[in-house]
Amino acid sequence: EVQLLESGGTSIQSGGSLRLSCAVSGLSISTYAMSWVRQAPGKGLDWVSSLYSSGSRQYADSVKGRFTISRDNSENTLFLQMNSLRVEDTAVYYCAKDKGPNYGDQNDYWGQGTLVTVYS
* Residues found near another protein in the complex (CB under 8 A): 35, 37, 44-47, 50, 58-62, 94, 96, 99, 103-108, 110-113
CB of 75 to another protein, least distance (A): 22
Nearest CB to another protein, comparing residues 2 and 17: 2
Nearest CB to another protein, comparing residues 19 and 64: 64
CB of 37 to another protein, least distance (A): 8
Q: What is the 3-state secondary structure (H, E, C) of the chain?
A: CCEEEEECCCEEECCCCEEEEEEEECCCHHHCCEEEEEECCCCCEEEEEEECCCCCEEECCCCCCCEEEEEECCCCEEEEEECCCCHHHCEEEEEEEECCCCCCCCEEEECCCEEEEEEC
CB of 62 to another protein, least distance (A): 8
